[in-house]
Amino acid sequence: MKHISRNFSTQWGDRNIDYDKFRKEKEEGLKLISKNFVNFSCGDLKMVKFDLKNNKANVSFGYNCKGLYLNEMKDLTITKKKRVDLVKEDDSWRITSW
């Protein structure tokens, strides 16, 4: 979480997510992955778009996650796309929106 800004804020559906909610959501997500998958990994990262202006940036990228889904005992591949907003705080880039 050291790369997440304390000023983090985003909208997921009809929910506003701040730093503390984001941290909790990610921890719960990792537990769910650990419970339902074996050999889960993500890769094939491809940057689609990158914009940099002054101390702000936004990055759009895609990636694949793979693993053995235990409920069905079959390999599963998930393709994700994300847009991330960053801001330079002190000497580090931190995520402000995910």
Domains and CATH numbers, the chain: 9-97 (3.10.450.50)
Compute the radius of gyration of the chain from its Cα atoms.
15
Tell me what pLDDT residue 46 has. 93
pLDDT digits (tens, 9 = 90+) for 16-70: 888 888 889 889 989 999 999 999 999 999 999 999 999 999 999 999 999 999 9
DSSP secondary structure letter of residue 4: B
Q: What are the residues facing 87 on neighbouring strands?
A: 56, 94
Tell me what pLDDT residue 2 has. 67
- Helix/strand/coil percentages in the chain, nearest 5: 20, 65, 20
Neighbour tally for 86: CB within 10 Å? 19
The pLDDT confidence band at residue 4, using thresholds 50, 70 and 90, is confident
pTM: 0.65
Higher pLDDT, 4 or 73: 73
Tell me what pLDDT residue 57 has. 94
Burial category of 96 from C-beta neighbours within 10 Å (exposed 0-12, middle 13-18, buried 19 and up): buried
Tell me what pLDDT residue 92 has. 86
Tell me what pLDDT residue 1 has. 57
Dist. CA 5–CA 15, nearest whole Å: 19
